[in-house]
Structure 1
Amino acid sequence: MGAPRARAVQERVDPDIGLPPAEHRRRARREQWPVVCAVSVGGAAGAAARYGMSLLWPTPAGAFPWTTFVINVAGCAVIGVFMVVITEVWAAHRLVRPFFGTGILGGFTTFSTYAVDIQRLVQSGHAATALAYLALTMVCALTAVWTAAALTRRFIRWRTR
């Protein structure tokens, strides 16, 4: 009696294996263009909405930047809801997350403006306001994501009973 024979394992085969490098790159670029376009269009829409809010609610020099604060915290709350919905409830099209999550919400929230606001406050002699803004934004943005995700999960469980 010999050693037991190993069973053949059926492994998935990557369709790109064996392709010449140039064809592999062409295929990858073709698959990325829709994602790049979705992020671009969504980002433009989100940035336009943020810019519109900054025009409607301008921040005076040296004052706490409430507009940027509210935009970032609200955007983070929406990201919390969105990520729960598309990962736990709804099998979204592959372009929904790049369009809405990365594009619209990424263009709407503005942590680069947050950094510039802090720099301007410090340079204009309002270091205490800058420090408060720095800490409050981080705490509130993270709390908004966590709270929105938790409440969304709770709501979903309640609705499915």
Structure 2
Amino acid sequence: MYDFKPAAPLDTEALYRELLAAAEALTADEPDGVANMANVAALLWEFLPDLNWAGFYRVAPAKGGGTDELVLGPFVGRPACIRIPFGRGVCGAAAQQGATQLVADVHAFPGHIACDAASASELVVPVLRDGAVVAVIDLDSPSPSRFTAEDAAGIEALAALLAERV
């Protein structure tokens, strides 16, 4: 049986290779997007050190109608903001721009939404299907500058794998 966590400390490239293999194994034959997001949030928590939040926000209709917004999806960590408008905070910027947001200091990010005051850095990667954002993967850390370009590339590969599975 696969344990779904790294067996030993790994370099970044090997860590993301194992994370992708685990995500592939868990989501390949499961059509339920929420179940897949839940398992991948747990994988992120197990594989990536120094996180205080790991999970998803899904694109959904705004409460009361109107423009789509991000709505909290499966995650591991403290309770979080439930709804985030496109363009607001790091997650909203990633959704609006359809581009990865790698933020070394969230307190310097214009419009940052502080769901957890302990968060110091953040990595948010959009999940794109047919060119449209369907979700974002959100990682928070209590350490400044926790995330690197290698982390961004690894999570972007994960987002591509999940595009048709969430």
TM-score by length of 2: 0.27
Select the structure with the greater relative contact order (CA < 8 A; seq sep ≥ 6): 1
Q: Which has the higher helix share?
A: 1
Compare CA radii of gyration and give the structure with the larger one.
Answer: 1
